Structure 1
Amino acid sequence: MSIVLGPNRYGKAETRLVRVVREGGVHHLKDVNVSSSLSGDMRDVHLTGSNAAVLPTDTQKNTVYALARKHGVDQIEDFALLLAAHFVDSQPTIHHARVEIDEYAWNRVADRGHSFVRDGSEVRTCVVHYDRDGAVSVVSGLKDLVVLNSTGSEFHGFIEDEFTTLQPTNDRILATALSARWRHTGARSAFGSSYGEVRRCLLEAFADTHSLSLQQTLYAMGERVLDTRPEVCEVRFAMPNKHHFLVDLSPFGMDNDNEVYYAADRPYGLIEGSVLRDDAPDAGFAWE
């Protein structure tokens, strides 16, 4: 039996970058979290400890700051592509780069040019892979987008066994903290407008679907995106069911006609799935 080195990568996780662009008295803020992972000719560093092929993770961190100063940070997908290409194209021992970026939104305070308040809604995300052989993939996304329908959701007809206590319902609150990622058909796109349109499709499909299950809603959201956005070939979802249970007020001689609930944070149902075009290219390493 022989022992061999398996797949490996290394990098700098969560490099926090805030960039301010000043246009007179009006400032623009970009707040991102960048993680890079590199792989390639790394056999010797694992087997002998030789670092000759290693680009230090501290250098990866500094590269994030330097390229942000040199090129700016507009759409996070474009900045991730810039970083990934730099790591691979500048270093012969680096064959593959993965760059993941989370973006945190800030809103300007009224008409103040330099005052901002943190937007507490979803986090915008992207993952970019860039390979020396020319393969490139871009996955955009969002996470922690909390949405709720106060009616228009049912759940019944499910399996019932000796351990089932859940009662069927024809009217319930449906809520989730949505995480969605979508794979682009090409490595270049108008990522900013695409993000806004995909987000709109997700929200409209969630609101428009009379749901018999969260799975049905998941599919409707993915279908709406793919029907509307030709630059997207696959959407993947993670949708925790944020349960809302009616409070039993009968001990107090009171009814409760779908008005008073308690929100349970755990345990929760977790619904995951993907919706894709039947001719979508192989995902390869896109989702890793």
Structure 2
Amino acid sequence: MAIVLGENQYGKAENRLVRIDRDGERHRITDLNVSVSLSGDLADTHLTGDNGKVLATDTQKNTVFAFARDGIGEIEAFGLRLARHFVDSQPSIHRAAVRIESYPWARLEVAGKPAHHSFARSGEGTRTALITYDGERAEVTGGLTDLTVLNSTDSEFWGFPRDEYTTLAEVTDRILATAVSATWRFATAEGADWGKAYETARACLLDAFGGTYSYSLQQTLYAMGTRVLENVPELAEISLSLPNKHHFLSDLSAFGLDNPGEVFFAADRPYGLIEGTVRRDDS
């Protein structure tokens, strides 16, 4: 029986990059986590330890920071620049994947006015991008993570199968909360307005979550995905991962108190995890 090397890749993970754009007195901050992964003709380093075709991960890190000196712009465009550079400049590298997380900062107010150079990390979710390039074709996926949302009513869950292990009560009024993680794939890697697509998709996710009377988190997922595709024509599909952040009504009867849907225990685990993809049907 022969033993052979299978698929492999390597890279520099989680390069923490902060750039300050100093446009006069008004500064702008870009805070990124950039991970690079490369694959290709790399069998020699695994089989014999010959590193002649291995672009050092330290070089990859340096490239990320050097490219940032020319400006970052939209993270999808920055990732495309990096991915194409690694493949086109290194004969042994046949595919590059660049994953980026962009952390939001909000401008502070000083004396009632927006500050020029003071910021606070905001809780609006983390923007993400994944760019792959194989020398001929590039693929761009945008998205976001950790966008925490909650509806305090207008959510039900009932009509599910019951067996000998079912203890969950049916409810016609519940809290529905989740931390949205979404990725959306662009139909083409060229010509998209990355920033507008992100802002529109994020707004659509929020609008659909808040505006959907929900009978299940699955129904809400489909409504959110549909709303994004209806309003961002550059996208081919969107995938969503929605953990159900359960809120259980706290029993206060031992203290002689009622609880008319006001006091809840917010459980962090275990949790239901609802995932799905909504795509365009071109048939």
Structure 1 length-normalised TM = 0.94
- Deviation (angstroms), 1:273: 0.9
- By how many angstroms is 1:3 displaced? 1.6
Matched, 1:5 2:8: no
- What runs of 5+ residues in structure 1 fail to find an aligned partner? 281-288
Structure 2 counterparts to residues 1-288 of structure 1, below 5 A = 1-69=1-69, 71-110=70-109, 111-132=114-135, 134-188=136-190, 189-279=192-282
**SS of the residue 2:141 aligns to:** strand
Moved over 6 A (4+): none
Q: Deviations over 1:220-273 (max 9, x none)?
A: 111111122111111111111000011122333333222211111111111111
Matches of 2:202 and 2:150 in 1, distance apart? Answer: 15
Deviation at 1:56, TM superposition (A): 0.3
Q: Distance in 1 between matches of 2:117 and 2:231?
A: 37
Q: Distance in 1 between matches of 2:186 and 2:118?
A: 35
Mapped partners of 1:62, 1:197: distance in 2 = 33
Name the aligned partner's letter for residue 200 of structure 2: E
Per-residue deviation at 1:76? 0.5
Return the alpha-carbon distance in structure 2 between the equivalents of residues 26 and 255 of structure 1. 53
Give 1:252's aligned amino acid. F
- CA deviation map 1:62-112 (0-9, x unaligned): 00000100x201110000000001101111111100000000111111132
Instruction: For structure 2, list consecutive stretches of 5 or more residues without a partner in the other structure.
Output: none
- Cα distance in 2, alignment partners of residues 201 and 214 from structure 1: 16
The residue identity in structure 2 corresponding to 1:165 is T
Percent of aligned pairs sharing the same letter = 60
Instruction: Give the distance between the partners of 1:256 and 1:114, measured in 2 at CA.
Output: 47
- Counting matched residue pairs gives 278
Measured in 1, the distance between the counterparts of 2:26 and 2:72 equals 17
Between the aligned partners of 2:123 and 2:211, the Cα distance in structure 1 is 24
CA-atom RMSD in angstroms: 1.1
Deviations 1:150-186 (A, max 9, x none): 0010001112111211100000000001100000011
Alpha-carbon distance in structure 1 between the residues aligned to 2:244 and 2:204: 20
CA distance in 1, matches of 2:277, 2:31: 29
**Corresponding letter in the other structure for 1:51:** N
Aligned letter for 1:150? S
Give 1:284's aligned residue: none
Q: Deviations over 1:163-215 (max 9, x none)?
A: 21110000000000110000001102110011000011111111111111101
Q: Residue 202 of structure 1: SS of its match in structure 2?
A: helix
**Residue 25 of structure 1: how far off its partner (Å):** 1.4
Which is worse superposed, 103-112 or 139-148? Answer: 103-112
